[in-house]
Structure formats: C-alpha cells, structure tokens
C-alpha cells in the first residue's frame, strides 16, 4: 500500500492527525494494535484546554463536544479544612476549560474518520517503521497471518508510552528524562451525580483525592494510592470510605456513592524523550512524553504536538517548505517542558510524599498557604491550567 503519512497508533493523537490531514487533502493510514472496542474502553482524560477545543472544532468533530461537554471557569483546592476556588476565567483573562471525556472525543474522531472514508487498520500486529533515514520510509505490519507493507513519505509515531516508534530512534540519538512518583492514582467511574459542579483537588494527610466528572450523572473520582497497590484489593465500599476521609466535610456528607463501572490504577511519572523526530519519523503525544495527570495536561500536550506536526506536514505538501518539519521537535519540546513543569509542581503541591522530611512537609503547606493568599500565585496556576499558548 502507498500513503503520504503512515500513522502508528489509533488513540486521540493519531486520529486527530489523520482527520486534520484528510481535511487538507493529505492521505494517511492509521495502524492500531488493539481493537476499536478496546481503545474505546479506556477511561482517561477529562479536561480539554481551549487549544484542543479549537482544534476539535476546526477538524469538524466538535458537534457532540459542544452539546455534551461542560465549560468550566474554575475549580476548588481543599487543604486543612479550607476550600479555595481558583477562578480560572477571572485570573486568565477570560479563558475556561472544557470537561468532556477523552473516550467520547476518541469515539467522535473514529466516527468522523469512518464518515470520510478514513483508512484505519485495527489489530495490526508487529508494526515496524523502516528506512527512517531515507526519503522512502515504509511501515510493515501483520494481520490475519499476512504481512503488509505501507510505503509513505512520513511516519507519525502516535503509539503512546509503550509503543514501537520511540524505540525505533537509535539509543545513540535518543535522550530520555524521567521521574517516577512514589504513588499512583486509583480511579473510579460511577453513574452518580458529581459531588460538586466543579472539580475539587484535595490535599489531605491521608493522601491526595480528586473529584471530577464526565456529565450530570457520571462522576470520576481518584485517590492517591501506593505504587504497588492492586485494584483487586479495593472493593467499591473501601474506595468510597477512603475517598470520604480525604474530602472536605460538606463534600464527604453530600457525595452520592454507587457501583463502579470502571476501576483502575495508573502509575504516575514525568517523562520526556528528545528529540521528537528522527529522519522521516515524528513522535507525538504519549509516544514522546508522559505527565502525571494532576495538571490534566497529558491529552492536551498531545494536542499541541499534533497542531505543530500537522502544520508542518501541510507546509511540506502545500508550500513545499520543510522548515516546520525541521523545527517540529524543538518547538514542541518548548511547550512540553513547560507543561512538564506545571504537572510536576501541581503533583508536588497536592500529594502526600511518604519520604518527605518535616521540612519538606512544611514547605508543601507553605506553598499552599502562599497560593491561597496570593493572586499572583493563583494567576500563574490559572494560566498554566487553561493552557499556555501554542
């Protein structure tokens, strides 16, 4: 087979790139190792920055998001009996975020690709990028006992943290930066009304907790747990009991509990790979970086990568200019590192670190006190949370 851009990975990064390229008359084939149901069964991000919302609308995929998504103009931070609202809209000069599940966005993207005749191969096995250093790269994959080859101009590695693309960059070229946090997040999705109309980030002596939602009858809750915790050790009742102990009193009394329809544990890490390009291969999204979900940046960073990469590919085909492709890695990394910093800062601010010294704990409390008392500090939080400019 022949295409202009071979895209490895059928998550939000790969699908959004394929959709944007299609609208500009650039062909692509998406190779996804899992089934579509498996991809759509994953529960992940819930908060979209304005930049991603704008991209989704421009890609012609925003109708359901605008109907079912919820713009949020602030969120609460609870700490030592206090509960402070961070007025995102007021502090960021009018910007808000959109609460709309990544799962829903992925479904919308799949449906748009289907309607426009998008070429997506599911259950593609042993996907292998080849001849990256030449101007005729190709990708092979196996399916149903057959081996296939796709000749292309470029390969987009949108295959997430455990994908094959980053591994295809020679170790002598690749630099990796990583911090693994000494805890994870145990998340529950339940068909219950959210405890609050906005998100509540809770700093508690027992550990961090987050109250989020997907819609008026679908709530998403997380509690910090030890990194070797196992989800089967947590009954729904145990989860709700622990969550209530970490919430402000009123929220703990008002929360509506119910059976979990999804329950999973995510490890927390900060990770960046440099460079994000090698020859004709370009990494985007989790294939190139991972942030702890505290700052709601993972999906939103994938979006800005796709913005830069799609613009660069369009310039190649429409303006015969390769400057965008040459600049892609450096440009994307500038925004990635700033989101990496914010996600690390918010994670350090809100979680219980077992190895912390007494001094470290006092620093954490003082950071929260300063945040609660300084508009300048809240402005800095707000401009990062709504999303730094592309």
Footprint of ligand PHB on this chain (CB under 6 A)? 45-47, 199, 210, 212, 220, 293-294, 296
3-state DSSP assignment of residue 77: strand
- 255 near ligand FAS, rule: CB under 6 A: no
**CA 57, 61, 67 angle in degrees (round to 5)?**
80
Candidates 65, 209, 213, 302: give the one binding ligand FAS (CB under 6 A): 302
- Locate 41 and state its tokens: 């069964």
Candidates 19, 20, 22, 32: give the one binding ligand FAS (CB under 6 A): 32
Give the residue ranges of DSSP H helices in the chain: 12-23, 36-40, 50-58, 63-68, 88-91, 102-115, 236-246, 249-254, 298-319, 323-350, 358-373, 375-385
CA-to-CA dists, residue 273 to 248, 283, 289, 294, 333, angstroms: 39, 9, 6, 20, 9
Candidates 88, 299, 336, 350: give the one binding ligand FAS (CB under 6 A): 299
Q: Please report how close the Cβ of residue 7 comes to ligand FAS at its closest, in angstroms.
A: 9
Candidates 11, 118, 137, 184: give the one binding ligand FAS (CB under 6 A): 11
Work out what residue 159 binds among ligand FAS, ligand PHB, none; the CB cut-off runs from 5 to 8 Å by kind: ligand FAS
Q: Please report how close the Cβ of residue 260 comes to ligand FAS at its closest, in angstroms.
A: 15
Give the residue ranges of DSSP H helices in 131-225: none
- 283 near ligand FAS, rule: CB under 6 A: no
Closer CB to ligand PHB, 199 or 281, in the complex: 199
- 293 near ligand FAS, rule: CB under 6 A: yes
The number of residues making up the chain comes to 390
Are the CB atoms for 285 and 305 separated by under 8 Å?
Answer: yes
Candidates 62, 163, 324, 387: give the one binding ligand FAS (CB under 6 A): 163
Q: Please report how close the Cβ of residue 319 comes to ligand FAS at its closest, in angstroms.
A: 27
Q: Please report how close the Cβ of residue 37 comes to ligand PHB at its closest, in angstroms.
A: 20
The CA-to-CA distance between both ends of the chain, in Å, stands at 34
Closer CB to ligand PHB, 288 or 293, in the complex: 293
Footprint on residues 176-235 left by ligand FAS (CB under 6 A):
none
CA-to-CA dists, residue 229 to 74, 232, 262, angstroms: 32, 9, 16
> Residue 310: which of 9, 16, 50 has the closest Cα?
16
Closer CB to ligand FAS, 96 or 356, in the complex: 96
Candidates 88, 120, 132, 164: give the one binding ligand FAS (CB under 6 A): 164
Closer CB to ligand FAS, 79 or 221, in the complex: 221
> Residue 140: which of 116, 118, 164 has the closest Cα?
164
Q: Please report how close the Cβ of residue 102 comes to ligand PHB at its closest, in angstroms.
A: 8
Under DSSP, the state recorded for 74 is: -
Q: What's the rounded Cα separation, in Å, for the pair 183 and 354?
A: 9
- The residues that are catalytic are 72, 201, 293, 297, 385
Q: What is the 3-state secondary structure (H, E, C) of 95-112?
A: CCEEECCHHHHHHHHHHH
Interface residues with ligand FAS (CB under 6 A) are: 8-14, 31-34, 39, 44-46, 102, 124, 127, 158-160, 162-164, 266, 285-286, 293, 296-300, 302
């Amino acid at each position: 087979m022949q295409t202009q851009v071979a895209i490895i990975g059928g998550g939000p990064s790969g699908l959004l790139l394929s959709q944007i390229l299609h609208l500009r008359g650039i062909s692509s084939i998406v190779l996804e190792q899992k089934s579509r149901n498996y991809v759509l069964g994953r529960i992940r991000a819930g908060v979209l920055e304005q930049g991603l919302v704008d991209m989704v609308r421009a890609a012609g995929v925003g109708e359901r998001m605008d109907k079912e998504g919820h713009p949020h103009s602030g969120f609460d931070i609870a700490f030592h009996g206090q509960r402070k609202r961070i007025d995102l809209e007021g502090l960021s000069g009018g910007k808000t975020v959109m609460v709309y599940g990544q799962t829903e966005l992925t479904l919308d993207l799949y449906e748009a690709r289907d309607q426009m005749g998008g070429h997506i191969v599911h259950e593609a096995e042993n996907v292998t990028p080849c001849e990256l250093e030449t101007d005729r790269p190709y990708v092979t994959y196996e399916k149903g006992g057959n081996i296939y080859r796709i000749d292309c101009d470029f390969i987009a590695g949108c295959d997430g943290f455990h994908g094959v693309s980053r591994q295809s960059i020679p170790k002598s070229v690749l630099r990796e930066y990583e911090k693994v946090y000494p805890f994870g997040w145990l998340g529950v999705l339940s068909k219950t009304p959210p405890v609050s109309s906005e998100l509540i980030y809770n700093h508690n002596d027992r550990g961090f907790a987050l109250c989020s939602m997907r819609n008026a009858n679908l709530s998403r809750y997380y509690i910090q747990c030890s990194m070797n915790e196992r989800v089967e050790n947590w009954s729904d009742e145990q989860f709700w009991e622990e969550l209530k102990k970490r919430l402000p009193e009123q929220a703990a009394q008002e929360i509506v509990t119910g059976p979990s329809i999804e329950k999973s544990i995510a490890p927390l890490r900060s990770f960046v790979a440099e460079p994000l390009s090698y020859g004709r291969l370009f990494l985007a999204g989790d294939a190139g970086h991972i942030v702890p979900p505290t700052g709601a940046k993972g999906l939103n960073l994938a979006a800005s990568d796709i913005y830069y990469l799609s613009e660069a590919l369009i310039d190649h085909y429409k303006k015969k200019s390769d400057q965008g492709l040459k600049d892609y890695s450096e440009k994307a990394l500038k925004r990635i590192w700033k989101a990496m910093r914010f996600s690390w800062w918010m994670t350090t601010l809100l979680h219980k670190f077992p190895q912390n010294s007494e001094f470290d704990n006092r620093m954490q409390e003082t950071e929260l006190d300063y945040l609660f008392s300084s508009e300048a500090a809240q402005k800095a939080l707000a401009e990062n949370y709504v999303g730094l400019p592309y």
